[in-house]
């Protein structure tokens, strides 16, 4: 088969990295290896494959929980996009969050984590970690002095979201990396809310970057998956956790995510442009108390966002309509185009009302025509008291 290249540009690599025509059938689209096990000609060949697989040698397989060719293709694609040596895929975003942290923390260690995180990450840190004697200090990761003050001799790792959930604060990754590395700590960045077309944390000094690939990487709301990328020496212990805890990715889901990544640059650009215009529209409305979007000059971390994020500022917006919970419901319940849903990163715009946060609304802006989105947002606002 002829020699191939993945290209150099981000969009080219999003399409080609990790993918090759099937060497047996020459099918252009990589196959879904829907198999639990792999067959060998001899006992010695089987033993060699087991030993090499459990040494985490890429491209060697004996059982799909430990490694699968479709999952590996996704890992190679994500590693290329993140500028990483390697990548691990798992069953969900929480699978990579938990496996990453458990691989690098043990009894008696301390974790310094952001004070605003995904709800189930908070369950992991607040419920599971205390039972493992892992101390957790929660701080505002945009406040470097507070982060530094939280570090103790027991600290092993800093964990942050690159754009926090739900208020979209944007920590300075390079400054946090300098602080972490001066103390011999790892910096792990959850980049789910932005994706690698908008931000690549390893380029700013983070040691590991992870995603709920369910979101922007997949982009179509049809797969649950997680990935973490970085140096192979840091990832091999994570592979042990994924394997031992039974968090293996579904090859079918990996195939769906891989398909979605091919359009990631296009989707990121279109959704980001839509989000900026919608954020400006909301900020100009007298029906809205406040708007949080990194691309707006009013955002508290706007300067940091401009340095770190490619494009307008991502596709997530959080805002608070006037009228408290009544105003929140008046907006969401009268929309005709945008659906109410708890996820994000979909090609479709999703609206997430958050009554427990005082009636704020999180918008995951999609790739619909801008005029249609603005019309629906204006319709919702017209019902806000």
Residue 21, pLDDT score: 83
Last residue of a domain, one of 201, 228, 261: 261
Average confidence score pLDDT of the chain: 96
Residue 52 lies in a domain: no
Q: Which of 224, 194, 223 is nearest to 209 (CA)?
A: 194
**pLDDT over 80 (residue 145):** yes
Cα torsion at 355, 210, 298, 336 (round to 10°)? -50
Q: 288-292 and 155-161: which strand pairing?
A: unpaired
Residue ending a domain, choose from 234, 261, 288: 261
Q: Which residues pair with 87 in a beta bridge?
A: 229
pLDDT of residue 1: 56
pLDDT band at 22 (very low <50, low <70, confident <90, very high): confident
pLDDT of residue 164: 97
Is 290 in the same domain as 173?
no
Instruction: Choose among 330, 321, 362: nearest CA to 343.
Output: 362
Q: Is 230 left (phi over 0), alpha (psi -120 to 50) or beta?
A: left
Tell me, what's the pLDDT at 242? 97
Q: Is residue 288 part of a domain?
A: yes
H helices of the chain, in order, are: 10-16, 43-54, 69-82, 93-104, 119-123, 129-131, 144-150, 173-182, 232-244, 251-261, 264-283, 302-308, 324-332, 370-382
CA 95, distance to chain mean position in Å, is 12
Are the C-beta atoms of residues 207 and 231 closer than 8 Å to each other?
yes
Q: Is residue 4 part of a domain?
A: no
Rg (CA), the chain: 21
Specify the number of domains making up the chain.
Answer: 2
Whether residue 166 is preceded by a cis peptide bond, meaning omega within 30 degrees of 0, is yes
Whether residues 188 and 226 fall in one domain: yes
pLDDT tier, 20 (very low <50, low <70, confident <90, very high otherwise): confident
CA–CA gap between residue 205 and residue 211 (Å, rounded): 17
Asked whether residue 220 falls in the same domain as residue 318, the answer is no
297 and 235 assigned to the same domain: no
pTM for the model: 0.95
Among residues 56, 50, 92, 48, the alpha carbon closest in space to that of 239 is found at 56
Average pLDDT, stretch 170-196? 98
41 in a structural domain: no
In a domain, 197, yes or no: yes
CA dist., res. 131 & res. 311, Å (int): 42
């Amino acid at each position: 088969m002829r020699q191939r290249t993945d290209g150099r540009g981000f969009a080219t690599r999003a399409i080609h990295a990790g993918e090759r025509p099937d060497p047996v059938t020459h099918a252009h689209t990589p196959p879904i290896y829907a198999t639990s096990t792999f067959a060998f000609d001899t006992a010695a060949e089987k033993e060699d494959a087991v030993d090499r697989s459990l040494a985490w040698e890429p491209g060697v397989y004996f059982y799909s929980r430990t490694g699968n060719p479709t999952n590996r293709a996704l890992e190679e694609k994500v590693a290329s996009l993140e500028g990483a040596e390697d990548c691990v895929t798992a069953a969900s975003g929480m699978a990579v969050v938990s496996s990453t942290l458990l691989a690098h923390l043990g009894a008696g260690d301390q974790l310094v984590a952001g004070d605003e995180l995904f709800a189930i990450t908070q369950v992991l840190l607040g419920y599971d970690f205390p039972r493992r004697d892992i101390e957790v200090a929660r701080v505002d990761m945009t406040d470097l002095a507070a982060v530094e003050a939280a570090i103790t001799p027991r600290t092993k790792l800093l964990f942050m979201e690159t754009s926090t959930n739900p208020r979209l604060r944007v920590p300075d990754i390079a400054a946090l990396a300098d602080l972490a590395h001066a103390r011999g700590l790892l910096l792990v960045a959850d980049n789910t809310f932005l994706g690698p077309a908008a931000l690549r944390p390893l380029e700013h000094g983070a040691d590991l970057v992870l995603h709920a690939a369910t979101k922007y990487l997949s982009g179509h709301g049809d797969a649950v998956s997680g990935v973490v990328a970085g140096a192979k020496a840091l990832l091999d212990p994570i592979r042990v956790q994924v394997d031992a805890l039974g968090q293996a990715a579904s090859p079918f889901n990996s195939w769906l995510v891989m398909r979605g990544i091919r359009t990631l640059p296009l989707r990121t650009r279109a959704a980001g442009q839509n989000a900026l215009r919608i954020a400006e529209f909301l900020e100009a409305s007298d029906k809205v108390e406040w708007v949080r979007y990194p691309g707006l000059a009013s955002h508290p971390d706007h300067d940091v966002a401009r340095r770190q994020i490619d494009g307008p500022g991502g596709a997530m917006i959080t805002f608070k309509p006037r009228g408290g919970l009544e105003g929140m419901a008046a907006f969401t319940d009268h929309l005709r185009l945008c659906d109410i849903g708890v996820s994000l990163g979909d090609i479709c715009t999703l609206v997430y009302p958050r009554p427990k946060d005082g009636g704020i609304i999180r918008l995951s802006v999609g790739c619909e025509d801008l005029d249609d989105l603005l019309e629906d947002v204006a319709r919702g606002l017209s019902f806000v008291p």
